Structure 1
Amino acid sequence: MPKTEFYDAYGAAHPNVFGMRDEALHSIRRRHMSHSFSISYVREMEQYLDLNIDILRKKIARFSSRNEVFDLKKVLHYYTIDVLGELAFSQSFGVQIADDESLVPPVVPHSLLAAATGAWPAQTQTLKRWLPKIPIRGLQNLFRGRAACARLASECVQRRIAALQDVKDEGMETLQRNDILTNLILAKHPDTGERLTQADLETEAFGFIIAGTHTTSATVSLLFYHLLHAPDIMARCATEIDENLPPLTAGQSSYSVADVETSLPYLRQCIRENFRITPVFTMPLARRVTAPEGVAISGRHIPHGTSIAVCNHAFHHDPAVWGPDHNTFDPTRWDNPETAARARYLMHFGLGGRQCIGKTVALSNIYKLSSTLLKEFDFELVDLNERLEVQMGAFRGRIPDLVSVGISDLAQPLMVKARQKRKVE
């Protein structure tokens, strides 16, 4: 069942690795990118994650010292954007330090526009051609947001190509960072030896900006939402970290990915449960039935040519699979071997050969962020009524209010206070 025209809605000028429907081209492009999204690459680049986590820790420490209320969702979003810049383009976007909303790439308008135009696959190309001509302000704002992301991607590519040319002229290629874009610039077609065109590079850079800034920050925000509304679970996570990992030293910004994954099984279960209960990549990923005779699914005949998809949120909340408490954030459900065996069916990154290529990078970020912040700070909700509801158990089995543009996120800010457990140097 190949991808449908739904994916044509997600590229800029050309299809990127996410939207590419030609399987042969996708295989080659994915091969070009595979090292840049591997665990070995993450470990090579971990110092840049640490650099930005250090900025984040110091920012939260300042909030703590002033007993100041802040939006945890926003600071996590700013962090994620800067890390994307470091890993993909060798240059932070500087959003954390500037604390400037105008520096945030407008990915939400693009995502909403793509989800809407892709929802009618047979008309996606027609909609892309004619919608920009309709003089409706809200619609035009969506196209302006997409254009701004495309311009940013183009600027990043041009800047990186120029930087590589400069060091080549000076014979200093070996001193360059192997960021994701650089690896693509240097990649060659396995048969022809050709390099990617600038248009190809720009469309992949566009994809990095869209996929790398929203999904990870939304996932971590939701994880902390669940922990804040289940203080006993958050306390158990903090205790596990204290018992299994040493204090961070003065020159250490965060724990390594390897340390967290091997030492914190309960935190891993919390992260998995967060992926189950509130997957952020919620758009149905359409495939087309190509068998002439159609297919039978659960006894229902689906004819040839039909566009079909699975909604992961619906599956992740199927009581026949997860039980009647499927709406409850309960990491201990994964202690049950029968439930644990179903982890392979979770669809938060998609499944199969087209599963999200950025999965390893995203997971590494989530592990590092959650373990470090829970080690360094105690967090609490600031709304007194909300805290009272938490104490009475009113949030057990309640899904948070979400807003979705194909990528779900908390509908409201996550307002908290933090208490620093020890001084951040």
Structure 2
Amino acid sequence: MLLLNILSSPISIALVALSVTAYYLVPYFTSYQSLSKIPGPFIAKFSNIWVAYAARRGRKFAAVDGAHRKYGKMVRIGFNHVSMADESALQVVYGHGNGFLKDHYYQAFVVGTTGVFNTRDRAEHTRKRKIIAHAFSPLSVGEFEPHMTSNILRWTNQFDKMASQNSNGSGSTFNIMPWFSYLAFDIIGDLAFGAPFGMVDKGRDEAEVQNIPGGPIRYTSAVDVLNRRGEISSTLGWMPALRPYAKYLPDPFFRKGVKSVQDLNGIAVAAVASRLDAVEKGLDEEKAGRKDLLTRLIQGKDANGERMGRKEVTAEALTQLIAGSDTISNTSCGVFYWILHGERAAPGTIIPKLQAELDAAIPSSAAVADYASVKHLPFLRQCIDEGMRMHSTSALGLPRIVADGTGVDFEGAHFPPGTVLSVPSYTIHHMAEIWGNDVEEFRPERWTRLNDRQKMAFNPFSYGPRACVGQNVAVMELQIIIGTLFRRYDFELHQEKLKSHEGFSKKPVECYTSMRRRL
């Protein structure tokens, strides 16, 4: 009672108000005064509340895009954060040798040990990336294909059953988005942990969780956990002061999100444990014939010849689990939708051309497209690139902090050290100034005549030394998945728009379709 009386006294209230005012106003008038002329939402001049609220709603990409349409190319979206919707800013913000660091935002994605995705230290990132690059060498990538193929084959077996449910062979209308998630999880499980999660065979979202090595195992909905983890980490990344107290906040979004962060790490711990135990007991993985991503991570060495320990391998496997499931499932569904939407908008211009190209390249006896058959198909790649532009799975502007020297200048504005800069991929992918008046239309043919601005603006995997190290595997997987789908089935789209919700990446909410086997 005494404490309550003290806290509710006029002096205490005045001190709290003064502290809050100083916390938000002092940086505005001192450290970041040079940003005062950059337009943006009023509250964003003093705090990150505006961008954090947009992240909490799963609509950061839309909020930032709307701000750019209202205020222009440079928008202040946080007290020290400027979003730059200009393709030439990609080199400034993400290019080699610019002295920038990943922002403190990424610390919200760390669980115990940092991985190549969320480490902020330059030297540590260089060390980790060297090891990871070994795992994604051309030789390694070629060895991944059998694992992809076996899982896609089980996936198409399930689709064959669904397509034959009706007498006309068209199947019933269903939401295909979860099935993209099941496939992506099973493939990355096979690659990063040594065995698929079994979601495709079971037709449901389920994975083992072990929060500590050797601890009890339980089951959870992995896709749901991954979605919540992205949402909570993206939100708390902008409000780091809330992180220690998130699980105590009355909004269940935070309580459930914190639990999902722990569960997702538990999925990686459970999946990695058996493989690492085998290695530590002296079993030879290579002689056993297992050539996958986890084997490469275990065998990889840094510049000093040192290998990663158990915690670090688990952290990197978790990074690949997130990137290989979330990014692939969201992107493949987005590309799938836009191909069908483009055909619906202009009948006879997309699907017949794509299927003719696939029919000529893929043997009729093949249930799953092999990479050699599809990797050089021009129209397939054009459809995938245009789908990635339209959907923009990596939609948010990845934040970088100006860390060295006296700052950086761009377009007449000065950004001192401590300023956070980002380039929003979704916005530059949807600027008519760059892509033309048909920017909101699915036009694969635009990729046959790209100009220099368009080539620079296309940014699905980020840019520079911190770009996605697994992008070649991602494109390979997309080509095999999309090639197999449209070679094997005819689809009909049953929804007008593709609604999305954003955690760290932008995820289609649902995608309803029906299908039948092609003769």
TM-score interval, normalised by the smaller of the two chains: 0.7 to 0.9
Deviations 1:161-186 (A, max 9, x none): 122245x25x6751141322222223
Identity of counterpart residues, as a percentage?
27
Aligned to 1:117: 236
251, 255, 261: which one pairs with 2:369?
255
Instruction: Indicate which of 157, 166, 170 corresponds to 1:58.
Output: 157
Q: Deviation string for 1:199-256 (max 9, x for gaps)?
A: 21222122122221111111111111111112231222112212x314342xx44222
- Residue aligned with 1:409, SS: strand
Residue 79 of structure 1 and its aligned partner are, at CA, apart by: 0.7
Q: Please name the residue that 1:128 is paired with.
A: 243
Tell me the amino acid that sits aligned with residue 272 of structure 2: V
Which of 83, 94, 98 lines up with 2:187 in the alignment?
Answer: 83
Q: Which amino acid aligns with 2:160?
A: A
Selected match of 2:275 from 160, 164, 185: 160
Kept in 1: contact 2:367–2:488 (CA 8 A): no
**What SS does structure 2 have at the residue aligned with 1:229?**
helix
Shift of 1:358: 1.5
SS of equivalent residue, structure 2 residue 490: strand
The residue that corresponds to 1:144 in the other structure is: 259
Shift of 1:149: 0.6
5 Å matches for 1:8-19?
A: 8-19=107-118
The 8 Å contact of residues 102 and 120 in structure 2, kept in 1 or not, is answered as yes
Contact 2:498–2:511 under 8 Å retained in 1: no
Between stretches 370-379 and 157-166, larger displacement belongs to 157-166
Cα gap change, 1:22 to 1:421, in 2 (>3 Å): same
Distance change >3 Å, CA 46–CA 173, structure 1 → 2: closer
Contact 1:153–1:205 (Cα < 8 Å) also in 2: yes
**Distance between the aligned counterparts of 1:24 and 1:293, measured in 2?**
22
Shift of 1:70: 2.1
| CA-CA distance at 1:416 after TM superposition | 1.3
SS at match of 1:230: helix
Choose the corresponding residue for 2:361, options 230, 242, 245: 245
Contact 1:63 1:70 in 2 (8 A): no
Return closer, same or farther for 1:240/1:29 CA change in 2, 3 Å cut-off. Answer: same
Distance 2:396 2:238 in 1: 9
- Within the candidate set 345, 353, 356, 2:457 is matched to 345
| Pair 1:406 & 2:504 matched | yes
Please tell me whether the aligned partners of residues 33 and 180 of structure 1 are also in contact (alpha carbons under 8 angstroms). no
CA displacement at 1:274 relative to structure 2: 1.2
2:381 to 264, 268, 282: 268
Moved over 4 A (4+): none
CA distance in 1, matches of 2:408, 2:324: 35
* Deviations 1:100-146, CA, capped at 9 Å, x for gaps: 223342111111111111124xxx2x332222333543311111111
Q: Distance in 2 between matches of 1:227 and 1:337?
A: 19
Answer 1 or 2: which has greater helix percent. Answer: 1
Residue identity in the other structure for 1:405: G
Counterpart selection for 1:71 from 175, 184, 191: 175
- Structure 2 letter corresponding to 1:342: Q
Which residue in the other structure is 1:394 paired with? none
CA distance in 1 between partners of 2:327 and 2:114 (Å): 20
Range with greater deviation from structure 2 (75-84 or 281-290): 281-290
State the Cα deviation string for residues 16-46 of structure 1 (Å, max 9, x = none). 1011111111112111111322343222121
Residue 182 (str. 1) matches residue 299 (str. 2): no
Q: What TM-score do the two structures reach when normalised by structure 2?
A: 0.72
2:321 alignment partner in structure 1: 209
What corresponds to 1:389 in structure 2? none
Counterpart-to-counterpart distance in 2, 1:229 and 1:92: 32
Cα distance in 1, alignment partners of residues 443 and 274 from structure 2: 46
What is the CA-CA distance between 1:266 and the residue it aligns to? 1.0
Q: Which residue of 1 aligns with 2:351?
A: 234
Q: What is the 5 A alignment of 1:410-425?
A: 410-411=508-509, 413-422=510-519
- Report 1:39-54 matches (<5 A): 39-54=138-153
CA distance in 1, matches of 2:494, 2:250: 43
Aligned to 2:56: none
Amino acid paired to 1:307 = V
8 Å CA contact 2:362–2:369 kept in 1: the answer is no
Name the CA shift for 1:246/1:172 in 2 (closer, same or farther; >3 Å): closer
The change in CA–CA distance for 1:247 and 1:180 in structure 2 (over 3 A counts) is closer
| 1:251-330 correspondence to structure 2 within 5 Å | 252-262=366-376, 264-330=377-443
Aligned to 2:28: none
Q: Is the 8 A contact 1:293 1:304 kept in 2?
A: yes
Alpha-carbon RMSD: 2.0
Count how many residue pairs are aligned between Structure 1 and Structure 2: 395
Change (3 A) 1:44 1:102: closer
Q: Which amino acid aligns with 2:199?
A: V
Match of 2:336 among 208, 224, 227: 224
**What's the CA shift for 1:349?**
0.5
Residues 149 and 209, structure 1, Cα contact 8 Å, conserved in 2 = no
TM-score by length of 1: 0.88
Tell whether the 8 Å contact from 1:3 to 1:21 is kept in structure 2 after alignment. Answer: yes
Asked whether the 8 Å contact 1:68–1:417 carries over to 2, the reply is yes
Structure 1: runs of 5+ lacking an equivalent? 387-398
| Amino acid corresponding to residue 277 of structure 1 in structure 2 | M
- 1:293 Cα shift? 2.9
**Secondary structure of 1:78's match?**
helix
Offset of residue 93 of structure 1: 0.3
Indicate the SS of the match to 1:174: coil
How far is 1:291 from its partner? 4.3
Could you say which residue in structure 1 is the equivalent of 2:491?
A: 379
Which secondary structure does the structure 2 equivalent of 1:375 belong to?
A: helix
